[in-house]
Amino acid sequence: MIVTTISEAKALAEERLARIYSEAVVLDDSTVETDFGWIFCWNSKRYLESGDYRDALAGNVPLIVDRANGSVHETCTFLPIEEITDRYRAVRGTLGTASFAQALFAR
Read off the pLDDT of residues 1-55 as tens digits, 9 standing for 90 and up: 899 999 999 999 999 999 988 899 999 999 999 999 999 999 999 999 999 999 9
Query: Whole-angstrom Cα distance, residue 71 to residue 2?
Result: 9
Asked whether residue 20 is domain-assigned, the answer is yes
Per-residue pLDDT band at 99 (split at 50, 70, 90): confident
Any domain includes 107 = no
Residue 16 lies in a domain: yes
Q: Are strands 63-66 and 24-26 parallel, antiparallel or unpaired?
A: unpaired
Q: The domain containing residue 24 runs over which residues?
A: 6-102
The model carries a pTM of 0.89
CB under 8 A, 24+ apart: contacts of 18-22: 21/57, 21/60
Q: Kindly state whether residue 81 falls inside one of the protein's structural domains.
A: yes
Q: What total number of domains does the chain contain?
A: 1
Report if residue 1 sits inside a domain: no
